[in-house]
Amino acid sequence: MPVLDPDIAGQLAEDLPREDFLRIIRTFQTDLARLTQELVGAAQRGDIRAFQQAAHSLAGASAAVGATRLEAAARLGMAGAQPPSPALAAQIGTEAEAALAALAALTA
Amino acid sequence: MSAPPRILLVEDTPAQAELAKALLRDAGVEIRHAETAGQALADALAHPPDAILLDLELPDFSGFELMRKLRAEGVEAAVIVVTANASVNTAVEAMRQGAVDFIVKPYAKARLTVTLTNALEKRALTQELKTVRAQLSRDRFYGFIGASAPMQAIYRTIESVAASRASVFITGESGTGKELAAEAVHKASPRAAKPFVALNCGAIPRDLLESEVFGHVKGAFTGATDNRIGAARQADGGTLFLDEIGEMPLEMQVKLLRFVQTGSFQPVGASRTEKVDVRFVCATNRDPLAEVEAGRFREDLYYRLYVVPLELPPLRARDADAVLIARALLTQASREEGKRFRGFAPEAERAILAYAWPGNVRQLQNVVRNVVVLHEGEQVTAAMLPPMLLRAAPRAPAGAAPAEAPAVAPVVVPVVVPVAAPVAVPGSMAPVAEVQLALPAPAPPVLAPPVAAPPVEAALPPPAVSVELPPPPVVVEPLAVMEKRLILAALAETAQDVSRAAALLQINPSTVYRKLQQWKAAGELL
pLDDT in tens, B365-374: 999 999 999 9
Nearest to A60 among B84, B108, B109 (CB): B84
Pick from B328-332, B449-453, B461-465, B484-488 the range whose average pLDDT is largest.
Answer: B328-332
User: B268 forms bridges with which residues in the sheet?
Assistant: B216
Does domain A6-107 fall into CATH 1.20.120? yes
How many CA atoms within 13 Å lie on the side-chain side of A102? 20
Q: What is the pLDDT of residue B395?
A: 62
Question: C-alpha angle with apex B515: B513 to B518, nearest 5 degrees?
Answer: 110
CA distance B56 to B70: 14
Domain boundaries, chain A: 6-107
Contact B486, B454 (CB under 8 A): no
Q: Which of A49, A56, A58 to mutate to test the interface with B (most CBs of B within 10 A)?
A: A56
Q: What residues are paired with B30 via a beta bridge?
A: B6
Look over chain B and give the mean of its residue pLDDT values, rounded to a whole number: 82
Mean pLDDT, rounded, for B240-248: 95
Is B354 within 8 Å of chain A by CB?
no
pLDDT bucket at B474, cuts 50 / 70 / 90: low
This complex has an ipTM of 0.85
Pick from A93-107, B85-99, B431-445: least confident? B431-445
Cross-chain residue pair A57–B18, CB shorter than 8 Å: no
Express each pLDDT in A16-63 by its tens digit.
Answer: 888 888 898 889 999 898 998 888 888 888 888 888 888 888 888 898
Distance from CA of B109 to the nearest CA of A (A): 7
Residues contacting residue B181 through CB under 8 Å, at least 6 positions apart: B144, B154, B158, B170, B172, B283, B310, B312
The one-letter amino acid code at B7 reads: I
Q: What are the angstrom distances between the C-alpha of B25 and each of A19, A25, A83, B50, B444? A: 13, 17, 41, 17, 68
How far away is chain B from the Cα of A25, in angstroms, using its nearest Cα? 8
Tens-place pLDDT, residues B272-331:
999 999 999 999 999 999 999 999 999 999 999 999 999 999 999 999 999 999 999 999
Cα–Cα dist B29/B525, whole Å: 78
**B132-164 per-position pLDDT tens digit:** 777 777 888 999 999 999 999 999 999 999 999
Rounded distance, CA B374 to CA B290, Å? Answer: 43
Mutate which: B18, B53, B54, B85, vs A, most A CBs within 10 A: B18
Least confident piece of the model among A78-87, B235-244, B356-365, B433-442: B433-442
For residue B450, pLDDT over 50 is answered with no
Residues of A in contact with B23 (CB under 8 A): 15-16
Give the minimum alpha-carbon distance from B70 to chain A in angstroms, rounded to a whole number: 23
* Contact call for A8 and B22, based on CB within 8 A: no
Query: Is the pLDDT reported for residue A73 higher than 80?
Result: yes
* Entry field: residues in chain A: 108
Cα B36 from chain centroid (whole Å): 48
Q: Is B55 on the interface with A (CB under 8 A)?
A: yes
Q: Which helix (H) or strand (E) holds B55?
A: strand B51-55
Which pLDDT score is estimated for B397?
52
Residues from chain A that touch B105, judged by Cβ atoms under 8 A, are 60, 63-64
pLDDT of residue B171: 96
72-131 in chain B: CB under 8 A from chain A: 83-85, 105-106, 108-109
B166 in Cβ contact with B208 (< 8 Å): no
Q: Which residue from A minimizes the CA distance to B56?
A: A56
Q: Which of B12, B57, B105 sits opposite A64 (nearest CB)?
A: B105
Considering only CA atoms, which of A36, A65, A38 is closest in space to residue A50? Answer: A38
The alpha carbon dihedral of A87, A92, A97, A101 has a sign of: positive
Helices and strands, number each (H, E), in chain B: 19, 21
pTM over 0.80, yes/no: no
In this predicted structure, what is the pLDDT of residue B400? 52
Does position B468 have pLDDT exceeding 50, yes or no?
A: no
Interface mutation vs chain A, best among B16, B58, B83, most A CBs within 10 Å = B16
Band the pLDDT of B393: cuts 50, 70, 90: low
Pairing relationship of beta strands B239-243 and B279-284 according to DSSP bridges: parallel
Task: Please indicate whether, in this complex, the C-beta atoms of A31 and B55 are within 8 angstroms of each other.
Answer: no
Confidence (pLDDT) at B444: 40
Q: What pLDDT does B172 receive?
A: 94
